[in-house]
């Protein structure tokens, strides 16, 4: 089994899709959900699907080995960031090199980097009157949104769409493709992961 921990800070609609997709998977299991926000919707989703979950505090992530110990205890092989807002620290990237995947709601490198998350991304796309947007799945390194790109998918926008409508269009793509991209990454890089 390849065991995944999903990291999420918010509602967790992507997390829910991923949990559903792998619920009866023969070789891949969602073993843990981690959130930095005790009020995050994703924690209720984890409960509903009987996936263990943990809330972490800043010091667990940046000033102690609590998080690493937790991931070891749960025998986690791969980290999937689905709307997780904290920067992943260097020690975690060393421990999980090429084993941390993030989803970003734009066609990186456009509309990425610090501060570019959630509605900020879609408002910037709108301000540019961009004709397209889309989603990117990428590996995580020490800089926000700069790791190697695994997958991108674009959607066409029309000029009268507002930022909320753009976000909804991009989220549809995320829900449709993210889980299969994770599965494909695992099956094609299985040796590195185990
Ligand atoms: C998604 O748009 C994702 O790309 C971004 O945060 C959003 C998370 O949405 N990183 P949800 O919590 O999965 O609904």
Residue 114 lies in a domain: no
Q: Report d(CA 137, CA 134) in Å as an integer.
A: 10
Q: Ligand 1 centroid vs 71 CA: distance in angstroms?
A: 22
Ligand 1 in reach of 82 Cβ (< 6 A): yes
Going by alpha carbons, the residue nearest to atom 14 of ligand 1 is 13
CATH of the domain at 149: 3.40.50.170
Tokens 């269009």 map to which residue? 169
Q: Does residue 119 carry a catalytic annotation?
A: no
In a domain, 160, yes or no: no
> How confident is the model at residue 191, as a pLDDT?
65
Position 118 in a domain: no
In a domain, 64, yes or no: yes
**Structural domain of 92:** 2-105+136-153+178-193
Mean pLDDT computed over 59-73: 96
CB of 174 within 6 A of ligand 1: the answer is yes
How much distance in Å is there from the Cα of 15 to the middle of ligand 1? 9
Q: Decide if 22 is inside a domain.
A: yes
Q: Give mean pLDDT, residues 136-150.
A: 88
What would the mean pLDDT of 17-23 be, rounded to a whole number?
Answer: 98
Confidence of residue 142 (pLDDT cuts 50, 70, 90): confident
Express each pLDDT in 100-134 by its tens digit. Answer: 999 999 999 999 988 899 999 999 999 999 999 99
Please give the Cα distance from 133 to 137 (Å, whole number): 14
Q: Is 128 a member of any domain?
A: no
Please say if the pLDDT value at position 137 is more than 80: yes
Given the residues 25, 57, 104, 122, select the one marked as catalytic.
104
Q: For residue 193, what pLDDT is reported?
A: 67
Measured CA to CA in angstroms, residue 146 lies from 87, 127, 137 at distances of 12, 23, 11
Question: How many domains are contained in the chain?
Answer: 1
Least confident of 40-54, 106-120, 140-154, 165-179: 140-154
Reply yes or no on whether the pLDDT at 181 is more than 70.
yes
- Per the prediction, the chain carries an average pLDDT of 95
Give me ligand 1 centre to Cα 102, in Å: 10
Q: Give residue-wise pLDDT tens across range 70-83.
A: 999 999 999 999 99
């Amino acid at each position: 089994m390849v065991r995944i921990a999903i990291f999420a800070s918010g509602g967790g609609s992507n997390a829910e899709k991923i949990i559903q997709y792998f619920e009866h998977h023969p070789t891949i299991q969602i073993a843990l959900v981690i959130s930095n926000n005790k009020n995050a919707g994703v924690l209720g989703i984890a409960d509903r699907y009987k996936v263990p979950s943990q809330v972490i505090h800043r010091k667990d992530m940046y000033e102690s080995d609590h998080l690493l110990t937790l991931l070891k205890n749960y025998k986690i092989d791969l980290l999937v960031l689905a709307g997780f807002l904290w920067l992943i620290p260097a020690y975690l990237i060393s421990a999980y090199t090429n084993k941390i995947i993030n989803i970003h709601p734009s066609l990186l490198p456009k509309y990425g980097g610090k501060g570019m998350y959630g509605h900020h991304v879609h408002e910037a796309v709108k301000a540019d009157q961009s004709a397209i947007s889309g989603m990117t799945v990428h590996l995580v390194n020490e800089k926000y949104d700069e790791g190697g790109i695994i997958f991108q998918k674009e959607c066409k926008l029309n000029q009268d769409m507002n930022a909320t409508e753009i976000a909804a269009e991009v989220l549809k793509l995320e829900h449709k493709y993210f889980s299969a991209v994770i599965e494909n990454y695992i099956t094609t890089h299985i040796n590195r992961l185990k």
